[in-house]
Every structure is written in structure tokens, then in C-alpha cells.
Amino acid sequence: MIDLWLDDERDPNDPKIQELFGAEPGMIWVKTAHAAISRLKSGHVRWISLDHDLGTTATGNDVAKWIEERAFQGNYGGSTGVSIP
């Protein structure tokens, strides 16, 4: 299981980002909504942090909506789910 960090600018392995935003070393850093959704589809994401403004038309909100739609349909959660703090 992985912890996923979606942000187009902030590296979760940067100590300053860890201090300011609660990132942790070893988080998998993805920079686009598409990359985050691809990782989520694998079913191996334990935790996710979503940045909103990704510098493109797709945002962290699009990822949240993708998760919510699948959870509502009963296609996401349980042993293949993700914990969103």
C-alpha cells in the first residue's frame, strides 16, 4: 500500500514541505489528476493528499469526485479502498 501525494509543485520529500504541509518521506509524488487516478485504480493507495490547483484544467477536486462516484456506486472501499483524512 502506498501513500499518494498529488501536487504539481510541492515535493513531499522536501523537509520544508513536510513541516508546512504534513508530507512524509517516501510518499509517492504525482503531479496530475490523471496520474493520481491511475494509481487509485491499482487499488494499492492507502492514503492520499489532494492539491486543488494543479496548473491544468483538471484539479484535485476531480480526483475527489472520481473517488466519490465510485464509492457511491459501491465500487470503491473496503480492502481496496483509500483512507482520506
Going residue by residue through the chain (85 aa), what tens digit of pLDDT does each one get? 999 999 999 999 999 999 999 999 999 999 999 999 999 999 899 999 999 899 888 999 999 999 999 888 887 664 445 544 4
On whether residue 72 sits in a domain, the answer given is: yes
> Do 7 and 33 form a contact (C-beta atoms < 8 A)?
no
On whether residue 85 sits in a domain, the answer given is: no
On whether residue 64 sits in a domain, the answer given is: yes
Strands 2-6 and 45-50: parallel
The domain of 24 spans 2-80
pTM of the model: 0.84
Q: How many CB atoms lie within 10 A of CB 24?
A: 13
Burial class (CB in 10 A: 0-12, 13-18, 19+), 9: exposed
> What is the enclosing helix (H) or strand (E) of 26?
none
Domain tally for the chain?
1
On whether residue 9 sits in a domain, the answer given is: yes
